[in-house]
Chain A
Amino acid sequence: MTALSNLKVGDKLPALTAGPIRPLDLALFAGGSGDHNPIHVDKSFAESAGFPDVFAHGMLSMAYLGRALTDWAGATAVKEFAVRFAAITPLGASVVCEGEVEEIVERDGEHLAKLVLQASVKDGPVTLKGDALVRIG
């Protein structure tokens, strides 16, 4: 982690790809996350809500982004982390998580990096846009 103290604006977060997302992954995430919304696991409910099929929890992709951050900076290095869910992640999608250092900040004696983040469907649309403030020193 010492290398992070030399970070500069424009440096990339090592990319992480997860998936392809199977129905089983959504069942596991429903149980693992406590989000039991049937729109993610019950096709007839998803259809009644106007969707052609179930789709992935946005928080699953946010968790993948979180993995990219903690793999890089450490398990408890993330101070702030926020996303906007821009598009739905369909079944079968591989999720690509990427980020870039936008700013290096000193706050309350801490050495922090502000990153802009995104998750996208591989060869498809951006699904999450966000940012994070991560301790780097």
Chain B
Amino acid sequence: MIDHSHIGAETEEVSIDVERGQLRLFCQATGETNPVFWDAEAARAAGHDRIPTPPTYAQTLLNLTPFKKNLVLDVMQVDLARMLHGEQGFIHHHPICVGDTIRLQQRVADIYDKKGGALEFIVLETTARNQDDVVCCTLKSVAVVRN
């Protein structure tokens, strides 16, 4: 069983640049052909100052952020082979655009179990702020651990 004292644990705040090349790789991988996500001119024509990012892209930034320790794998020492992604949510407050530098910080919001401990759930919440200190997105992930 995962030690519930990890509730409230958090990462340091780490910055990541929103790069056009990585966004293009994401778009290629997801079949995203909307030119607004590929081309600055198309983005401007659609009323965006800069190339915006798709509504799940903040999770990619999170995945790529080089935290010193991963809360689940390193701090809680959960075996990756026993984990599944249970839930994912995004609340968008402000667009994340190519050229932004996003600072991410993740914390353990909750840990609970079901089926007498056969399944444990880790709730992770992440805040993503841009270079102007505007909160752009809050992310919530639920990881399921199969015991």
A residues adjacent to B (C-beta < 8 A)? 18, 25, 28-29, 31-39, 45, 48-49, 57-60, 62-64, 66-67, 69-71, 74-76, 78-85
In the complex the two chains form, is A75's CB within 8 Å of B52's CB?
Answer: yes
Please classify how large the interface on chain B is, using the bins under 10, 10 to 19, 20 to 34, 35 or more: 35 or more
Q: Which of B30, B60, B84, B86 has the most CB of A within 10 A?
A: B30
Q: Are A37 and B80 in contact (CB under 8 A)?
A: yes
> In the assembly, what is the distance between CA of A80 and CA of B56, in Å?
10
Interface string of B8-35 (1 = CB under 8 A from A): 0000000000000010011111111010
Binding site for A on B (CB under 8 A): 22, 25-32, 34, 36-37, 43, 46, 48, 52, 54-56, 59-64, 80-92, 95, 140
Pairwise interchain contact A28-B56, C-beta atoms closer than 8 A = no
4 tightest CB-CB pairs across the interface, nearest first? A32-B29, A34-B63, A82-B89, A28-B29
The smallest beta-carbon distance between A50 and chain B, in angstroms, is 8
Given the known A-B contacts A25-B29, A32-B26, A49-B82, are A62 and B56 also in contact in the complex, defined by CB atoms under 8 Å? yes
Least CB separation from B26: chain A residue: A32
Q: Which residues of B lie under 8 Å from residue A64 when comparing CB positions?
A: 30-31
Contact present for A67 and B54 (CB under 8 Å): yes
- Asked whether A28 lies within 8 Å of B87 as measured between CB atoms, the reply is no
Contacts of B92 in A (CB 8 A): 76, 78-81
Partner of B25, one of A32, A38, A48: A32
- Please, which residue of chain A has its CB at the minimum distance from the CB of B24? A32
- Between A and B, 30 residue pairs with Cβ closer than 8 Å are A18-B31, A28-B29, A29-B30, A32-B22, A32-B26, A33-B29, A33-B59, A34-B60, A34-B64, A35-B60, A37-B83, A38-B80, A39-B80, A45-B81, A49-B82, A58-B85, A59-B56, A59-B88, A63-B32, A63-B56, A66-B55, A67-B34, A70-B54, A75-B34, A75-B48, A76-B92, A81-B89, A83-B87, A84-B86, A85-B86
